[in-house]
Structure 1
Amino acid sequence: MRTRDVNKENLIQEKAIEMIVKQGLDGFSMQKLAKAANVSPATLYIYYKDRDDLITQLATSVSNRLMETSLKGMHPKMSFADGLELQWKNRMEFFFKYPLDVEFIEQIRYMPTYDSVRDNIRKNFGDVLGKFVHNAINRGELQPLPFEVYWSMAFAPLYQLIKFHAQGNSPANASFRITDDMVKQTLELVIKALKP
């Protein structure tokens, strides 16, 4: 049995993410990945059972890193405004540092294989976020909302600004760049909208 080579495994993962983002899932195969990573197809099967296992492991790894980054410095007892601001700052840091990873997650988010990734996120990170939200509600800093409404209000505005930035334009601006002032203004409006 051949041993795992961490550097080789990292290269395989980087190439897989790059290929999926640039070429889509339809044309992605273990054969093409082996060629792009300059390894034999047999080498891939040291690390992954098959294509779906590779995609699931990649998605789990990237999602965990995103959540770990977004919760860096978080404490469930933080004020809602401070905690949300920290999550925005941390998420922006991840999105700008790992743009291919973010695009990869967006491409596979609606695949059946992503269900196990979603379950993993709930299990590993739901406790911290749940306590943070419940504490904010109990202190009167946040109105009780269905999770999906809360998430849409709390994070979609940030993600849209990041999307405009990544595209380099918006419907109103042919050369859009996100600024700290825009982020601050948007965050203030979000916090205001979520208050009871």
Structure 2
Amino acid sequence: MRRNSGETAPERSMSGEEMEELRSRTVPDVVAEGLRVLFCGINPGLTTARLGHHFAHPGNRFWPVLHASGFTPRRLKPSEQHELPAYGLGITNISPRPTARADELTAEEYREGGRVLIEKVARLRPAWLAVVGVTAYRAAFGDRKARIGPQEAAIGDTRVWVLPNPSGLNAHWTLETMAEEYGRLRAAAFDGPR
């Protein structure tokens, strides 16, 4: 992802002390009741923890994909995440603990995150829960056979869709192919029945 002016702070090296301090920060959810889609990331990265905005790493493609797939009328900056509920969208994470890499999370953190996420979804009642990352979905919900796309599982009346992880490290998916898959969810969430 190419950074637009003011999109995120430039990447820089962090001291060990700063990294440890960031690991104790939380990044608040961007949620409201009755959203059309609640996007669920794996956990905050250290850049997200430093800046306090979801998907804030310059290499993360979430914000460009959100726009390219038609969820937003323009490309939002991470600092504009507060605008998402006006579009019927929100963001949460499986685990609140910031890490440098998602593989630092334990199996127990994934399972506990899945349990907490089910409670959150039951309370907020979005039409769709969109988990970004099939490996994270499998770990959090114990569904080893899950694939990208809509799932048979539901949480109450909330349908579940697994999307490709927008991390720049996910080389299996291009911006275009991710936008196509996210666009399938957009059509289901906004063009289909509530």
TM-score relative to the length of structure 2:
0.33
Higher helix share: 1
Whichever of the two has the greater Rg, that structure is 1
Which of 1 and 2 has higher RCO (CA within 8 Å, sep 6+)?
Answer: 2
TM-score relative to the length of structure 1:
0.33
